[in-house]
Every structure is written in C-alpha cells, then in structure tokens.
Amino acid sequence: MSEDDVLAAAEGLDDELSNVTRLLVLSALYIVGPMYEGDLARLLGVSWGKLSTHLRRLEEAGYIRRRRVIGEDRPRVLVRVTELGVARLLRHLEAASRLREAASRKAHRRP
C-alpha cells in the first residue's frame, strides 16, 4: 500500500470525530435518538463537565442541537444530532472502515 493509497482510504475522516468521546456522543445520538445531557453522560460513563466541552464543540460545528426543556421537576437539556451531523458521522465511519480494510489486506499479505 502506497502513501497515496493511505490518503485515499482516509478521505472523509472528520477532525471533530477523530476524538473518541465526540465520536461516541454522535454515534449514541444517531443510534438511540435524542437524549438528555445527563442520560448521555451516564450512557457514555463521562463526567458532565467533560461531556459539556465535547457537546459545545459538536454544536459549534453544527453536528448537534441542544434545546432546554422544562420538565416536571427541573429544566433539562435535550440533545439531538443534526442532518449535517449524521452525514459527517456516516462519512467518517465509512473512511475508518476503508482504512481498516486496507490494513487488514496488508496484514494478510505479510509472511
């Protein structure tokens, strides 16, 4: 595999989603659907502070939207993935899959 092959396989990797926590946030929202911030933090096993930092980056990139919802006991923040977020997530995962396949082919050719 040449350097050009590696670069071609990596086409579509997203800088924002190269962070594992942001990738997991977007993946969870895509798979599960809209979630409250607290529920998302519990699902991913991260602190609210860490989650908040990543949510802010994803929101600034246009990948998610947050909306304050007035609940019975307190206001909560509902997070959902945007169409742009879905498109970028799927593109990123496709590029990662191409890299994995290329690495697998290389590993099978080794003596």
| pLDDT at 43 > cutoff 90 | yes
What is the rounded distance in angstroms from the CA atom of residue 49 to the CA atom of residue 20? 16
Q: Which residue has the higher pLDDT, 98 or 31?
A: 31
The whole-model pTM stands at 0.85
pLDDT score of 62: 98
* Rounded Cα distance, 51 and 71, in Å: 21
Q: Give helix 83-109 / helix 3-10 axis angle, nearest 10°.
A: 150
- Residues 55-76: what's their mean pLDDT? 93
pLDDT band with cut points at 50, 70 and 90 for residue 78: very high
Residue 103 has pLDDT above 80, yes or no: no
CB-based contact 47:41 (threshold 8 Å) = yes
Nearest-angstrom CA–CA distance, 4 and 9: 9
pLDDT class of 106 with cuts at 50, 70, 90: low
- Please give the residue that has the higher pLDDT: either 91 or 8: 91
Name which of 59, 65, 80, 49 is nearest 16 in CA terms: 59
pLDDT tier at 84, thresholds 50, 70, 90: very high
Q: Among all chains, which residue has been given the structure tokens 């809209």?
A: 34
